[in-house]
Structure formats: C-alpha cells, structure tokens
Amino acid sequence: MTAEPGAIVDLSTLDVAAAAIAEAVEPGRPQWVVGQRGSGRSELLERLALHRRTICVRTVAPEHADAAMHAVVQAAAGITDAEQRRRAAESSEPRAAARAVAECLADDDVTLAVRLHASWSHTERPFDAANSDGAGDDDRARSLRHVRDVLQAWTSHPRLRLVLITDRNADPAALGVDHGSDHRLQPLAVVDGVLTEPAHWGTLADAAALVSTIPITAPLDAQTLRASVAASALGIGKARLTQILACNSSSQRWWQLATALRERIAHHSRLGSVLRSLLSLRVPLPIERLDEFVSDDADLEHLLVHGLGYGVTELRIAAPIRRELSATLGAPSADEHARLTDFCQQLDGAPQHWKTSAAAWWLEKHHHALLAGELRVDVWERAADDFPGPAWHWLRGRQLSRAGHHERAASVYARAVERFPNDSYSWHYLGFNLAHAGLRRAEAQSAYQRAIELEPDNPWWNSRLVTFLVAQGRFAEAQRAWSEALERLDPDGDRCCQDPWLADHVHRWVAQAWHDAGESERASAVLAQLPADIIAASSRLRRLQHDIADALEAEQLGESVYPWDVPMDQRWKAPRTITEDDASHVVQWAPGRVVDVDEAVRVVYALASEPAEPKRIALRELSQQEWRELSGGQPPKANTYFELLRFSDGSVRIAIVPSTPHDLDPRASAIARAYLQRWHSPQPSH
C-alpha cells in the first residue's frame, strides 16, 4: 500500500468509488454518499470531477447568512452560457435560484456534486434554531430554511444528475430526499510505517518518530495521527499522548487532543495568529499559497501541512480541531479580515468573479470584506450591484444594524429591494432600520407591510409590524394589526395551542412590546390567548408572564411592595424573612418598600390582613431614629424592601428583605431561604 505525495493514506480506493458513483448517477436520482471523518469525502469530490463534466460545490454552515446563495453561485459556475448563468442565479429566493441553476445544469448534462456541511443534512427544524435568547436567532433559522430550500430544489429536480456527499449522521429520508443508492465510504487506511518515514513529515519527523513509539491497540485514522504528531511537535509529552491515544472513544480522544493542542498553541502567538486567519477561511487554502501566511517559516509550514492540517493539494483542518481552536483563538480582527480580503482577491478570478470556477474565492472575498467593516467597504460597494442574490445585502445591512448604524443599514436594504423587489427579508429590515433610526416612519410602516404582503405567514414579519406600532403608542392601529396577524398566522386559533414556537415568537414579542410600553393589561391580554401548558413549556414566556403579573400588581396597588423578581406564588402568604419561631408570634404583617429617604424615611406598605380582602397601600413617614429602632439599626435606603411585623407582645419590627443572597442573615430560617429561591432560577430581565 502506498500513499500519494503529501498523503499518508491510500487514496486509490477513492478512485474506484468515484468511478462507481459517476457511473451510477442518473438524472433525478441523487446519489447519497456517506462517510465519516477520515474517509476522504473532500478528495472524493475532486476525483468525481475527473470522471464526468461535474461542478463541485462545498457548502458552508448556515450560521453564514449567505450559505444558500453561496452554494447556488458555486453551482451556477458550471453553466456553460454566461447569460444563462447570470439569469439563473439572479433571484431573491434561494429555492428559485437553485431550481433555475439545476435546470441549466441538467440541460448542459453537467453533474452537480455537493459536499454538504454537516448541519445542512441533519434534521434540525429550521425554527428550532431560533430557540435561544439573543439577537440574530431569526437570521440563523432563516438561513437554515434557505439551505433546506436549496437542497430540496436540487434533490427534487427530475433531470439533474446530483451527488450529495455527507457525514454518517445525515438522514436522507428525514430530509425527504428520494435518493438512488447509498455509497458508504470506509475510513482510509493509513500506510504502514508512515510515522517513521521522514519524507512525510518534514520538520516534524522527530515528533512523528516519537509518536511511532507509543503502543497503540487499535488502528488510528490519518487525522488523529497527524494531530498527535502536531501535539508532540508542540511539546506535548509522550506520557500524555500515550494516555490520550489509549482512549477507546474516538470522540473523547479527539476532544483530549484538541484540548492539548489548544493549550500549547496559547504559547505560540505566531502560530495562533496564522491559524486564526486560516480557520476563518471557509474555502480550503491551496497549499501552494500557504507561504503567503507563513512567510518562509518552514517549521510553521510543516506544522500546518503535516500536523494540524491534512489534504494533498489543499490545506484542511479537521472539524474538532477547528472547533476547539476557533473558540480559543477568537474571531479575526477587522485588520485580519482586510488582509484576507486582499488575499482572496488574488484567487477570485476577477473581473470574471462568480462566472468562473473561482466563484468560491469571489464569495470569500466579499465575506471577509464585510467582516473587515469600513476597511474594505469599497470592495463590497463595487460588487453590490453584481451580487446574484440579496444575501450579501442582508449581511452588510445586518452588520451596520448591529453596530447601531441604522440609517446606513436602511440604505443597504433600500438598495436591495430596488434590485430584488420581492425579497421580503430586505423589506422587513428596511422597515426595522428606518424605525430604529427614528426616520421616515411612514416609509418604515410601508416596508413592514410590503414584507407581510410578500410572505403573509412569516411570524416575525407579522409580529414586528405590531411591535413597531406599539412602540410608537399607536395602540388602535397596533390592535388592528395584531388581529390581522392572528388571522393570517392562526385563523382558527389552534396553531398557537399546539405550536410552542409560534407562541414564543409571535405572542411573546407582542406581549413584550405592550409591557415595554407600560401597558401591562394589554400585554396580559395577549398572553391570555395562550394555553397554560404552552406558557409553561417556554422559559421566556414564563418570565414574561411573571414580569407582566408583577407590573399589573404594582399598577393595581399603585406601588411595588415586593422585589420584582419574587415569584408571584410566593407573595402574600406569610412573612418570609424571619425565623419560623418568630413567624409563629406574628399577628400582623405587611410587605413594603422605602420610597425615599431624606430627614425622614418615607415608606409604603400593603395591608392585606385577610386573603379575600382587597389589598390597600398605606404611606407613612418614619423618622430616621424610628426606622433604625424598628429595623434593628439598618441604615435606611431608597428601594429597600421590607416586611413590617407586629408580634403578639405588641412589638413592631421591620425585617429587611435581602437584595442578594449575600445579605441573608446566616441564622435565617428555611422559610427565609426558600424566599431567596428566586435567585436560583432564571429570572426575567428588568
């Protein structure tokens, strides 16, 4: 068994597989090729191109908003006729663009071979991606939906010859892919004695030789072997490597290797800097161009090519290492992205840009130009009217919007809707950014409404129009818009009872907007449209429900007498800040708050001696001396919460409600500790 130059595995099996797949691929019957890490999926992609007229596409993760169009543009590069190529990819909807490209490729009898990013082919629901807190969730969910649209457009095309290369966890049935046959790639066997063959390792030869002395019970794949050699070269001792490689679990072994590498790389600033740039490239770097990153540093070059990376002509870095190191090294700076932009420009085939096979580099250039922000904004501007879809406008608009440049972001989206008038996303964010810039609100409203016209069942578009109106205090219009939104999204009122996601992304947004406007009753009315079990299933809905209930109570009383984060079901039952013994002697109690303090201490407290009795607020001024006597010497402070207690012997005491767990009296009873449970569960923002 021999290896090609630069390889430590026998790649000849891939030639056989590529030939078989090329032979088997038929129009309308996608070939589904599955392989685990180390099975040569990327090499297979290159080999497929040798057998038929094939256009190869490498997809990127849906975290990148251009993921769908990124794939479509690469595929379009396989269309022979330049005008057809341009027209095919020119659609605001990735599904339509993908279908048009597939049509042209089928006409040209070109095979489309797609190396799917893992998250393209797993069965995560697009909207599940939006289940965490924070901005941008909707963007990721939308991107995931778009990549699914592209995949669906290609797999369902009746005449397209399609090969999909994916990992072993992908499930074609779950994705609705009716495929011809499966090809399962086996892990590529490592060439015997390769560790002791200095020609394979360059300056890492000594490290490789050391690894060769480690007793290994089960055969290791090539990537593990390379990572071990890199770890050794970076100073990880034999004992630790032995321990790592003795792990039976492959994932555990990888995690330990990546951790070890991460620790060592933290001490190599040059290596860290180069790696940070390389890891941010979404396209494998041609090894022949590596010198531009390592500048004649042979040790560094060999560490990257023979140890941390793999690949024959292109430098690839295994996913676990990529993941671990990316998290450690952080994102490149704007300067680094600017340098990467310049680098990509050398490879992007300009001025032919995406019309050539260098499409991926052209896309990459603009990706980094965007991340370089103002440093390379000219690159984005020059190409803005040339992008074959609106995704790049989205990226630029989002970048500006997140940086608070709403007016400039609105200009970008305005430009997008001029070119792509049916792009609901750009209409929506045109409205959003105009609204946030406080500009041309009538235009913002029209933009929101246009987005809804184009995509009437989009939950976000519908709820944002309502929240836009609520934030301006346009209550009557907001109520109308809300009714219309429900009519479009959930006309029978049953969807929100079955779909927690819809409740979380429509009702919650709208209720939150009413709450933020100080309209707790209207906020409460929105949540009242949801069944209790739907609210109970969402931590965010539960939090909002609590916030609203707290605000309603404060409004009804006229004052707050409980800290906002005390759960509603713990209020009004009994004094909670004293020992159980003391509590048994309490004959009257009232929760309260210090309103302000100057010469006097002004307090409010709620009277609720009987549960059925309406609660009443009382005001009283105490002298500083009275306060200190009643509170046991505590200094008075505004917005301190307390419990006013009268005991059976007639004495009155003020017990301070601890504002943090550190304030808790160590002698506090179990009851008092229970009162503090509010700190042990996620609480609403205030």
Partner 1 sequence: MELPSALARDRVHVFVAGPGIGEGCAIALPNGEWILIDGCETRPESGVERPLRMLVERFGKNHSSVSHLILTHPHADHVYGFIDLIEELSPDYIGVTGPDPQKNLARELGLDPPSEATSALTRRRRVKTALARIQAWSEQHPGHLCSLCSGVSLQLRDAGTLEVVTRAPDAAVLSTWWSDGTLPRMIRDDTNALSIVLELRWGATRLLFGGDLPSDGQTGWRRVHQADPRIARPHVFKLPHHGSRGALYEPVLGRPGDEAAWIVTPFSPSQLPRADVDDGLDRLLALQSPVHLTAMSMSKRLQAAIDRDEVEADQLVAIRDALLQKGFFNDEREHVLAGTGVGGLDPIWHVEIDEAGTICSRHHGRASLAVYRAQR
With a CB cutoff of 8 Å and minimum separation 6, the contacts of 396 are 370, 380, 384, 409, 412
Residue reference for tokens 């070269």: 233
From the CB of residue 213, how many other CB atoms can be counted at a distance below 10 Å? 11
The sign one gets for the Cα dihedral 286, 292, 298, 301 is: negative
Cβ closest to partner 1, residue 350 vs residue 617: 617
Rounded to the nearest whole angstrom, what is the least distance from the CB of residue 567 to partner 1 in the complex?
A: 14
Cβ closest to partner 1, residue 97 vs residue 513: 513
Q: How many residues bind partner 1 (CB under 8 A)?
A: 41
Rounded to the nearest whole angstrom, what is the least distance from the CB of residue 637 to partner 1 in the complex?
A: 13
- 334-353 residues near partner 1, rule: CB under 8 A: none
Contact by Cβ (8 Å): 46, 75: no
Contact by Cβ (8 Å): 91, 97: yes
Between CA 429 and CA 408 the distance in angstroms is: 12
- 595-654 residues near partner 1, rule: CB under 8 A: 605-607, 614-621, 639, 644, 646
Cβ closest to partner 1, residue 43 vs residue 559: 559
Q: Is 564 in the site for partner 1 (CB under 8 A)?
A: yes
Cβ closest to partner 1, residue 335 vs residue 596: 596
Contact by Cβ (8 Å): 59, 88: no
- Work out which of 86, 122, 441, 488 binds partner 1, going by CB under 8 A: 441
Q: Which residue stretches of 291-333 are H helix?
A: 291-294, 298-302, 319-329
Q: How far are the Cα atoms of 569, 571, 646, 671, 684 from residue 676, in angstroms, in the given order?
A: 13, 12, 22, 9, 15
Burial 409-439 (b: 16+ CB within 10 A, else e): bbbbbbbbbebbebbbbbbbbbbbbbbbbee
**What is the DSSP code string of 392-416?**
HHHHHHHHHHHTT-HHHHHHHHHHH
Torsion of the alpha carbons at 469, 474, 479 and 483, rounded to the nearest 10:
-40
Q: Is 322 in the site for partner 1 (CB under 8 A)?
A: no
What are phi and psi for residue 74, nearest 5 degrees?
-60, -40
Cβ closest to partner 1, residue 266 vs residue 568: 568
- Work out which of 199, 442, 532, 670 binds partner 1, going by CB under 8 A: 442
Between CA 610 and CA 239 the distance in angstroms is: 72
Q: Is 560 in the site for partner 1 (CB under 8 A)?
A: yes
- Work out which of 189, 319, 517, 525 binds partner 1, going by CB under 8 A: 517
Rounded to the nearest whole angstrom, what is the least distance from the CB of residue 135 to partner 1 in the complex?
A: 18
Residue range at the interface with partner 1 (CB under 8 A); choices 105-113, 229-237, 553-561, 663-671: 553-561
Cβ closest to partner 1, residue 19 vs residue 595: 595
Binding-residue pattern over the window 667 to 686 for partner 1, x denoting contact by CB under 8 A: -------------------x
With a CB cutoff of 8 Å and minimum separation 6, the contacts of 248 are 218
Contact by Cβ (8 Å): 156, 80: no
Rounded to the nearest whole angstrom, what is the least distance from the CB of residue 564 to partner 1 in the complex?
A: 5
Q: Is 519 in the site for partner 1 (CB under 8 A)?
A: yes
> For the chain, first and last CA: distance in Å?
66
Residue range at the interface with partner 1 (CB under 8 A); choices 11-19, 189-197, 264-272, 512-520: 512-520
Q: Which amino acid is at 270?
A: R
Q: Is 123 in the site for partner 1 (CB under 8 A)?
A: no
Q: Pull the structure tokens for residue 305.
A: 């090519």
Rounded to the nearest whole angstrom, what is the least distance from the CB of residue 619 to partner 1 in the complex?
A: 5
Cβ closest to partner 1, residue 125 vs residue 616: 616
Q: How far are the Cα atoms of 61, 414, 614 from residue 611, in angstroms, in the given order?
A: 57, 58, 8
Q: Is 103 in the site for partner 1 (CB under 8 A)?
A: no
Nearest to 118 by CA among 139, 147, 84: 147
Cβ closest to partner 1, residue 377 vs residue 517: 517
Q: Is 551 in the site for partner 1 (CB under 8 A)?
A: yes
Q: Is 554 in the site for partner 1 (CB under 8 A)?
A: yes
- Work out which of 555, 629, 656, 678 binds partner 1, going by CB under 8 A: 555
Rounded to the nearest whole angstrom, what is the least distance from the CB of residue 631 to partner 1 in the complex?
A: 15
Cβ closest to partner 1, residue 388 vs residue 592: 592
Rounded to the nearest whole angstrom, what is the least distance from the CB of residue 440 to partner 1 in the complex?
A: 8
SS3 173: coil
Cβ closest to partner 1, residue 65 vs residue 435: 435
SS3 453: helix
Nearest to 315 by CA among 334, 335, 300: 300
Residue range at the interface with partner 1 (CB under 8 A); choices 130-138, 211-219, 241-249, 548-556: 548-556
Rounded to the nearest whole angstrom, what is the least distance from the CB of residue 560 to partner 1 in the complex?
A: 4
**DSSP label at residue 504:** I
- Work out which of 55, 294, 590, 601 binds partner 1, going by CB under 8 A: 590
Cβ closest to partner 1, residue 201 vs residue 448: 448
Q: Is 437 in the site for partner 1 (CB under 8 A)?
A: no
Residue range at the interface with partner 1 (CB under 8 A); choices 366-374, 408-416, 483-491, 556-564: 556-564
Binding-residue pattern over the window 443 to 482 for partner 1, x denoting contact by CB under 8 A: ----------------------------xxxxxx------
Cβ closest to partner 1, residue 429 vs residue 605: 605
Rounded to the nearest whole angstrom, what is the least distance from the CB of residue 56 to partner 1 in the complex?
A: 53
- 520-539 residues near partner 1, rule: CB under 8 A: 520
Between CA 677 and CA 671 the distance in angstroms is: 10
Please return the burial class of 476, using the count of CB atoms within 10 Å of its CB with bins 0-12, 13-18 and 19+: exposed
Give one word for 100, left, alpha or beta, with left for phi > 0 and alpha for psi -120 to 50: alpha
Contact by Cβ (8 Å): 27, 154: no
Rounded to the nearest whole angstrom, what is the least distance from the CB of residue 426 to partner 1 in the complex?
A: 23
Q: Pull the structure tokens for residue 86.
A: 């341009």
SS3 183: strand
Rounded to the nearest whole angstrom, what is the least distance from the CB of residue 430 to partner 1 in the complex?
A: 17
Chain residues that interact with partner 1, rule: CB under 8 A: 441-442, 471-476, 516-520, 550-551, 553-555, 557-560, 564, 588, 590, 593, 605-607, 614-621, 639, 644, 646, 686
